[in-house]
């Protein structure tokens, strides 16, 4: 409700993205100022600072924001896995997933990914992998272009 008041319509992009993590940070810190991450910091650097503070457990509210982010990320990844019947696996790419690997391996993400009764047993069988190569998209595009020749 608080996000909807400040942002209007709240969709997945407003939560499951770098700026989305900043939105969750602002939500968890609405009653107090963070001593580790400052809201007047560069917006492009804030998601990394929030994640770093959460992973290092330097700020309980940053941890809470990251947990909310991971649960939303896991829930949406699980929805996508079901919509596409991704029995061969779900691959998480982009800039955020590799940086959050320790947090992705713990409970919140994977619990939310699988929390889809009556299909939780199917989701337990679907592997979730994180793409670690930052050039994976470029390599895929190059491979595709080569096949078109």
Q: Which domain holds residue 47?
A: 2-148
Q: What is the pLDDT along the chain (149 residues), one digit of tens a residue?
A: 566 556 556 667 778 898 999 999 999 999 888 888 887 767 788 999 999 999 999 999 999 999 999 999 999 999 999 999 999 999 998 888 898 998 898 779 999 999 999 999 999 999 999 999 989 989 999 999 999 98
Domain count, the chain: 1
Instruction: Quote the pLDDT of residue 6.
Output: 61
SS3 content of the chain, % helix, strand, coil (to 5): 60, 5, 35
Dihedral-angle region of residue 85 (phi above 0 means left; psi in -120 to 50 means alpha; beta otherwise): left
Q: What size, in residues, is the chain?
A: 149
Q: What is the Cα 12 distance to its own chain's centre?
A: 10
Instruction: Quote the pLDDT of residue 10.
Output: 62
What angle do the packed helices 46-55 and 18-28 form, to 10 degrees?
60
Pick from 95, 25, 91, 85: nearest CA to 60: 25
Q: How is residue 74 annotated by DSSP?
A: H
Instruction: Quote the pLDDT of residue 105.
Output: 84
CATH number at residue 27: 3.40.367.20
Q: Are 49 and 127 in contact (CB under 8 A)?
A: no
Instruction: Quote the pLDDT of residue 39.
Output: 79
């Amino acid at each position: 409700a608080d996000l909807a008041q400040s942002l209007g319509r709240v969709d997945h992009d407003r939560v499951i993205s770098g700026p989305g993590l900043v939105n969750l940070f602002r939500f968890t810190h609405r009653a107090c100022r963070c001593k580790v991450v400052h809201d007047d910091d560069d917006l492009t650097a804030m998601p990394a600072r929030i994640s770093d503070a959460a992973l290092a457990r330097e700020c309980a509210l940053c941890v809470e924001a990251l947990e909310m982010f991971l649960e939303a990320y896991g829930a949406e990844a699980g929805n996508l896995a079901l919509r596409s019947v991704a029995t061969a696996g779900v691959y998480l790419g982009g800039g955020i997933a590799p940086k959050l690997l320790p947090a992705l391996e713990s409970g919140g993400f994977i619990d939310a990914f699988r929390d889809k009764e009556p299909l939780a047993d199917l989701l337990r069988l679907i592997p979730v992998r994180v793409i670690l190569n930052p050039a994976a998209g470029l390599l895929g595009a190059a491979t595709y272009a080569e096949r078109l020749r």
